[in-house]
Structure 1
């Protein structure tokens, strides 16, 4: 039999905020407190991810995980995040895969913490506020909204992957054209 804590830890953050908004909409919790807790958790979670990436990221990747990531691609990702990664931090909050990876990569790429924190806070406020508001407004139809949010997250992730693949293909085509000329 699973405990309440095990269930709580297995629930994705967006769903917890959505359900918190539903409970607040029913008058059982203040909506501001739910939003503040969710936004604070999102900010601190990504800040921890940044610190872990900055301090131990390379060591983690040099061990088991390094087999799955080519060093050249990792170097490019780190450089991109350190130079223009603020928007990546913000937009990454809204996609499933990037929400987990971006903070650690930003730390590994030595993105200045002030810039990371600015976009982390902005993303957490927008994302957390939207999830709580959606639950608050959804009320009894929260399951429909949860399905929509989950689908939108998967679509956003797929769109990012498609854009990256298209960019990679165009870049390869340009290189081949330059070499052939």
Structure 2
């Protein structure tokens, strides 16, 4: 989780996947709470590192090979979105593809105060962690209840896991669709969501 938003690792291995897999093993409220705490600490630490990297090495990272592979357009969209939405962009970026890796760096480069950044990213991380762990643990609990009574409960569990991933994807898609207007670049009539072609 720490690496996910600090050095572009989340673009390769999404934190949602790691969190969902971990949450399937949750047994009881204590483990639920500890997993949420671990995910929040990892996410906030990673985003804080991303913020610091943006503050001290942002332009160099942007010009690096990894930064160029992300595409200049995505960097411009992140800058524009942060300018449009301010701290709320930091909160929502936790739920948006590509931007969750770029916004911490962009916020650092833009000179946002760290205290303001931390407040927005920590609150987003708590909401995200509770949502993801709730979905994963709920799917596992449903399987345990069915395992002894229903033949083929393993198939039901696989179906529930697929539905959990789909539910998370739909939540992120809804956020992306809602925020699309704030990501449109000046003089650009096309959709400007991260990853979109120019």
Q: Would you call these one fold, judging by a TM-score over 0.5?
A: yes
Residue 78 of structure 1 contacts residue 108 of structure 1 at CA under 8 Å; is this kept in 2? no
Structure 2 gaps of 5+ residues are: 1-9, 144-159, 190-198
Superposed CA offset, 1:152-172 (max 9, x none): 3245335534553388568xx
Aligned to 2:169: 150
Q: Does 1:99 align with 2:100?
A: yes
Corresponding pairs, count: 158
Alignment of 1:1-181 (within 5 A): 11-24=13-26, 26=27, 30-64=31-65, 65=67, 68-69=71-72, 73=76, 77=80, 80=83, 85-139=86-140, 140=143, 141-161=160-180, 163-165=182-184
Provide TM-score, normalisation by structure 1. Answer: 0.71
Aligned to 2:7: none
Residue 42 of structure 1 contacts residue 124 of structure 1 at CA under 8 Å; is this kept in 2? yes
Superposed CA offset, 1:84-119 (max 9, x none): 521110011111121111000000001000000000
Q: 1:60/1:166 Cα in 2 relative to 1: closer, same or farther (>3 Å)?
A: closer
- State the structure with more CA Rg: 1
Provide TM-score, normalisation by structure 2. Answer: 0.66
Tell me, in whole angstroms, the C-alpha distance in 2 between the residues paired with 1:115 and 1:37: 22
Q: 1:166/1:12 Cα in 2 relative to 1: closer, same or farther (>3 Å)?
A: closer
- For structure 1, which segment, 58-67 or 12-21, has the greater mean C-alpha deviation from structure 2 after superposition? 58-67
